[in-house]
Amino acid sequence: MPVYNIGICDDDKNMCCELESMLIDIFREFNVHVEIEPWYSGETLCKHLEMGNAFDLLFLDIELLTLNGVEVGKFIRESLNDIKTKIIFN
């Protein structure tokens, strides 16, 4: 069974927990295995990605504290040349 790796990056920890819970429920309903990793800053997420880690789907908050979600998305596409990761800005 395939495993889908999902990342959530939002500086609001409650929002991360809420979205993670909703995603778990949705994927469970379709009997799909998912691993979800929360991130609370764009900088730590980018460092994680630079080390060769990747996600199938990534939820990025547009208004992060310093490095915003749009900048993280640009880093993923341009600096890492990652066109496979699906990005949803929220």
pLDDT along the chain (90 residues), means of 10: 90 93 94 94 95 95 87 95 94
Query: For the chain, what's the residue count?
Result: 90
At position 85, the amino acid (one-letter code) is: T
Question: pLDDT at position 23, please?
Answer: 95
How many C-beta atoms lie closer than 10 Å to residue 34's C-beta?
Answer: 18
pTM of the model: 0.91
Burial 54-88 (b: 16+ CB within 10 A, else e): ebebbbbbeebeebbbeebbebbeeeeebeebebe
Architecture of domain 3-89 in this structure: 3-Layer(aba) Sandwich (3.40)
